[in-house]
Structure 1
Amino acid sequence: MASLCRIPLPYRRDSSSYFAAVKHLPLPVYLDSAADHSDRGRWDIICAEPEEVISSKTIDYSDKDTLSIRIASTLKRIDRDYIDSPTLPFSGGAIGYLSYEFGEELQLGLSPNAQIPTFHIAIYPWFVLVDHHQQRCELIAQPSLSQVRLTELSALLTPIDAPPSARKFRLTSPFVSSLKKDDYTKAFNKVKAYIDAGDCYQVNLTREFTASYQGDPWQAYLQLRAAAAAPFSAYMDFGDSQFLSLSPERLLAAQERQLQTQPIKGTAARSDDPQEDSALATKLQNSAKNRAENIMIVDLLRNDFSKSCQAETVVTEALCELQSFRTVHHLVSTVTGTLRDERSEFSALLDCFPGGSITGAPKHRAMEIISEIEPHRRSLYCGSIFYLGPNGKMDSNIAIRSFVCKQQKITGWAGGGIVADSVLNEEFIETETKISKLLEALADLGLKPITDSDYAKKP
């Protein structure tokens, strides 16, 4: 019986050098737990050269069912032709993304006006897997990969101290926000008016930040990674565009028909002073407003789970748990459930997409309001990057703390949930808390991150 091909490689806690060795190959992907900068990470997945690609560029679909059928046929081929290992989180298979605009198509029926494909799924027969708990690294391939190619890849990955990129990244203009303070105030007041009128309970309002750059976005990712490591980070290169995600948030994980989602609602800045940092964390934990926001989104996600899961199995395992990351503290909850027999893992992902923590409640109406009020497109931001292998093993992030590089422009976003008792200045500051460290890290590679007085002077 055929088995996975597994070739040991030297373990490196910083696995970015493995990605650098293969990033010149077609459609390289780095699913990065950022273990070199964080003790939360375990698995890193590095791959390139997919054997099949499906995206909104290649599929003409009009509704969710059509898309599900097309993707389901591809995923069935993975289950049929790909070998799974029970001890691995991924054995080869699908890696891709769903953009926020894809969610607008599904939920609102809106026609996309996006610079990137609204979804992209590629099937990878080989990958490098780094296990930081076991301090083990392997090149793993499905039996269908030729021995010749496996030998070539092994040789490519052996000199893992890859030379640095000759195309150094640098900003060539300051970041400019789509919603400076005056415009943000108008948008905030519109959201509050909808909430006061009873249209919704919460709306996630975001700001876009854009600058020009020159050089290799991979260098920007390494700089961001060092500043804001997060367990659901990713770098994806599509040739004409690159995605840089430093996400701390899981959207949906699946294994053996068990689902888990971990929404984040509630954010506080970190401090270098231990006492002040502890005080900031305690204040967040005791914030009635932030806890109420988190619980509201937990209720929304429990409803999303009810579309795919056996009702009696949907459980809130943790509520408003404090988790501390490199630049911020967050409140994180955990909801689990068991899939019904007729539902698939990918259909469950679509049922939860886009994630409630970055839309609001109720989801459909919140998304309508976002579409009306925000002057920019969200693109990858608030979408999801995911993998899905044989036997339905899946994990996915919510692509917050994320940037898109395209046509020498780098664009990032930051947002926060607006509720009835939200305070304008506090919400504006929260958006800057979430993105300021990232913009400052990029500024170290070029110009200052942003020059308008709203950013220089905290409200």
Structure 2
Amino acid sequence: MNIPIDEQRNTLNALANQGVQHFPVVREVVADFETPLSCYAKVASGPYSYLLESANQGGEKWSRYSMIGLPARRVYKIRGQTLSIEEAGENIESRELIDPFQFVSDTQAKYSYPIIEGYPQFTGGLVGYFGYDTVRYVEPRLANSTPPETIDTPDILLMLSEDVIVFDNVKGKVQLITHVSDLSDDQFLQAELRLDAMQGAMLRPLPKHLVEPSISPAMHESDFQSSYGQAQFLNDVEAIKEYVAAGDTMQVILSQRLRCRIEAHPLTLYRALRALNPSPYMYFMDLDDFAIVSSSPEILARLEDGEVTVRPLAGTRRRGRTREEDEEMEAELRSDPKEIAEHLMLIDLGRNDVGRIAEAGSVTVSDMMTIERYAHVMHIASHVTGRLKSGLTAVDVLKATLPVGTLSGAPKVRALEIIDEFEPVKRGIFGGAVGYLSWQGSMDTAIAIRTAIVKDGWLNVQAGAGIVADSVPELEWMETLNKARSIMRAAAIAESGLQFVATPENPRENQSASGSTAPSIGSPSESELES
């Protein structure tokens, strides 16, 4: 609904009397000719902006709401213990932090306000990521074992997102949101001007470089360089199997990073990926000197109305070409003892993680071992929930769950130590949490898998395989390639000017609109949507 400005002021005055110092101002407009992607490209595109989208299982239907963040006025970057605060591209403050997680929690609280009736559920917040290596803030055994950094991205990057567009894909309307720091006439005048500018920007034409993406030289899988090298990876798999045989660990997720030069605009890469593999967590973030492009199938952790949710995904088969074959693949997955054992282990890990911050007796497992179908694969999934203990926050949920078992192994801390022993480069964003902490105290984050980091003309993608007692090293190497292939294939599509490439199953895909042939990197495999 469109709430008159005077009515909004009355509501916000009541909040001010409760001590709130940060206030949203909202305007609803019709946008039935727009899509979230076109709206982002016209209104928000620029450093420290984002687009958050979601598709249901199977990628057949987009979720109702998409969130668009206009360039943030303030950005928090944390490397190790060092905080840098930027405004308008300038560093305005740098200092050392004793506890980076506490700083994030305090910042969320500083700008918080309660849910307001009639306003969108999401009105902004701290949006960005917590890298895999933030686990070192809470696990002393890992503090001094960080592998070398090769991409050079912050461990934590959060945008102070105050100018937001919430896109209603069902009604064809958008809610434009900005914020004021007090309820003076001048502040509301400035807010109205910002909302006018957002609304006016929606009338702009789309940028030509996005409407007509350039065509670059063909990209092939052989163009990607590994951080590892196959021989060393195979040797390390054997070494980890010795740890498993000795009872030192049960499973370790060993990963490799692949990188390749790319000329396509990162948003063009996102367009290719969202068309190729729509997933529950799709996000594009322009973070000035690098971009995150992702289509993640897996939640890391969610906090909503005091309930914590994690949802382990483990156990995978490809989708069938017919309904009958699809059902056969499901039956095969359900009867595979190795897949079932791995999933049960991850349920236990999820229950343990949630149990650390949940009220006693509140942790439950529901929808246990159901089959979730996505565009190219099906997974075994379970739903673990618990009521958050009084006095804890969304940041406590992150500390308890990051990184999840599907990106680490079991027992978790020992698996993390073994990962540090063998992997040649710092994981960085891969395996971390990407999403938001809202001003109302909620949180929604995805695991940073099926994720590309584009920086300095390089595309970086990382993928892992779960090493257990009976792992075959060559197959684990192939699994990491298969899991990275959705990003590699999307990159080939982007480089070809969004001409969709062929797959062995459907050779007709290789014909572009002009009848020319686009390069092929291969079809998605049954494992590529996992970690």
TM-score (ref. length: structure 1): 0.89
RMSD between aligned alpha carbons?
2.7
Deviations 1:408-447 (A, max 9, x none): 1101012222222334444334333322233223223448
2-side partners of 1:181 and 1:86: how far apart? Answer: 56
Aligned partner of residue 75 in structure 2, secondary structure? strand
2-side partners of 1:405 and 1:101: how far apart? Answer: 19
2:148/2:424 contact within 8 Å kept: no
Report the counterpart of residue 40 of structure 2 in structure 1.
Answer: 19
Decide whether aligned partners of structure 1 residues 61 and 368 sit closer, same or farther in structure 2, where only a CA change above 3 A counts.
farther
Matched residue type, 1:141: T
2-side partners of 1:355 and 1:437: how far apart? Answer: 22
Aligned partner of residue 199 in structure 1, secondary structure? coil
Report the counterpart of residue 454 of structure 1 in structure 2.
Answer: none
Decide whether aligned partners of structure 1 residues 376 and 149 sit closer, same or farther in structure 2, where only a CA change above 3 A counts.
same
Aligned partner of residue 330 in structure 1, secondary structure? strand
2-side partners of 1:86 and 1:357: how far apart? Answer: 38
Aligned partner of residue 262 in structure 2, secondary structure? strand
Decide whether aligned partners of structure 1 residues 95 and 83 sit closer, same or farther in structure 2, where only a CA change above 3 A counts.
same
2-side partners of 1:434 and 1:274: how far apart? Answer: 24
1-side partners of 2:250 and 2:96: how far apart? Answer: 32
Report the counterpart of residue 338 of structure 1 in structure 2.
Answer: 387
Asked whether 1:41 is paired with 2:63, we answer yes
Match of 1:435 among 453, 459, 484: 484
2-side partners of 1:5 and 1:13: how far apart? Answer: 19
Match of 1:103 among 135, 147, 152: 135
Match of 1:316 among 365, 368, 373: 365
| TM-aligned CA deviation for residue 159 of structure 1 | 4.1
Matched residue type, 2:256: R
| TM-aligned CA deviation for residue 294 of structure 1 | 1.5
Deviations 1:359-407 (A, max 9, x none): 1111111111111112233221111112111331210000100010111
Match of 1:118 among 155, 177, 198: 155
TM-score (ref. length: structure 2): 0.78
Q: After the TM superposition, which of the residue ranges 231-240 and 433-442 deviates more from structure 2?
A: 433-442
Q: After the TM superposition, which of the residue ranges 289-298 and 154-163 deviates more from structure 2?
A: 154-163
Deviations 1:144-185 (A, max 9, x none): 562111101111123475544266374676112334543332
Decide whether aligned partners of structure 1 residues 105 and 345 sit closer, same or farther in structure 2, where only a CA change above 3 A counts.
closer
Aligned partner of residue 444 in structure 1, secondary structure? helix
2-side partners of 1:148 and 1:130: how far apart? Answer: 20
Report the counterpart of residue 420 of structure 2 in structure 1.
Answer: 371
List runs of 5+ in structure 2 lacking aligned partners.
1-9, 13-23, 85-93, 182-189, 497-518, 523-531
Q: After the TM superposition, which of the residue ranges 6-15 and 145-154 deviates more from structure 2?
A: 6-15
1:245/1:403 contact within 8 Å kept: yes
Aligned residues: 448
2-side partners of 1:124 and 1:314: how far apart? Answer: 32
1-side partners of 2:230 and 2:338: how far apart? Answer: 23
Matched residue type, 1:230: S
1:102/1:112 contact within 8 Å kept: no
Asked whether 1:294 is paired with 2:343, we answer yes
2-side partners of 1:254 and 1:40: how far apart? Answer: 22
Decide whether aligned partners of structure 1 residues 285 and 6 sit closer, same or farther in structure 2, where only a CA change above 3 A counts.
farther
1-side partners of 2:166 and 2:397: how far apart? Answer: 26
Match of 1:153 among 183, 191, 198: 198
Deviations 1:208-250 (A, max 9, x none): 2110112411111111111111111111111210111110100
2-side partners of 1:429 and 1:280: how far apart? Answer: 21
Deviations 1:309-343 (A, max 9, x none): 10200111122221111122212211000011121
Decide whether aligned partners of structure 1 residues 443 and 119 sit closer, same or farther in structure 2, where only a CA change above 3 A counts.
same
| TM-aligned CA deviation for residue 49 of structure 1 | 2.5
Asked whether 1:91 is paired with 2:123, we answer yes
Asked whether 1:30 is paired with 2:63, we answer no
Decide whether aligned partners of structure 1 residues 9 and 34 sit closer, same or farther in structure 2, where only a CA change above 3 A counts.
farther
1-side partners of 2:107 and 2:492: how far apart? Answer: 42
1:345/1:394 contact within 8 Å kept: yes
1-side partners of 2:205 and 2:28: how far apart? Answer: 15
Matched residue type, 2:262: Y
Task: Give aligned-pair identity as a percent.
Answer: 27
Aligned partner of residue 357 in structure 2, secondary structure? coil
Asked whether 1:67 is paired with 2:133, we answer no
Q: After the TM superposition, which of the residue ranges 260-269 and 103-112 deviates more from structure 2?
A: 103-112
Matched residue type, 1:148: L
2-side partners of 1:160 and 1:91: how far apart? Answer: 26
Decide whether aligned partners of structure 1 residues 113 and 432 sit closer, same or farther in structure 2, where only a CA change above 3 A counts.
closer
Report the counterpart of residue 54 of structure 1 in structure 2.
Answer: 76
2-side partners of 1:171 and 1:250: how far apart? Answer: 35
Matched residue type, 1:109: A
1-side partners of 2:43 and 2:227: how far apart? Answer: 36
Decide whether aligned partners of structure 1 residues 278 and 316 sit closer, same or farther in structure 2, where only a CA change above 3 A counts.
same
Matched residue type, 1:362: P
1-side partners of 2:242 and 2:209: how far apart? Answer: 52
| TM-aligned CA deviation for residue 257 of structure 1 | 0.8
2-side partners of 1:441 and 1:243: how far apart? Answer: 14
2-side partners of 1:9 and 1:20: how far apart? Answer: 18
1-side partners of 2:472 and 2:369: how far apart? Answer: 21
Decide whether aligned partners of structure 1 residues 410 and 339 sit closer, same or farther in structure 2, where only a CA change above 3 A counts.
same
Report the counterpart of residue 454 of structure 2 in structure 1.
Answer: 405
Report the counterpart of residue 383 of structure 1 in structure 2.
Answer: 432
User: Superposed, which structure 2 residues align to 1:201-350 within 5 Å?
Assistant: 201-350=250-399
Match of 1:176 among 219, 222, 225: 225
Aligned partner of residue 447 in structure 2, secondary structure? coil
Decide whether aligned partners of structure 1 residues 135 and 279 sit closer, same or farther in structure 2, where only a CA change above 3 A counts.
farther
List runs of 5+ in structure 1 lacking aligned partners.
452-459
Matched residue type, 1:24: S
Decide whether aligned partners of structure 1 residues 278 and 434 sit closer, same or farther in structure 2, where only a CA change above 3 A counts.
farther
Aligned partner of residue 50 in structure 1, secondary structure? coil
Q: Which has the larger radius of gyration?
A: 2
Matched residue type, 1:138: Q
1:223/1:442 contact within 8 Å kept: yes
Q: After the TM superposition, which of the residue ranges 7-16 and 331-340 deviates more from structure 2?
A: 7-16
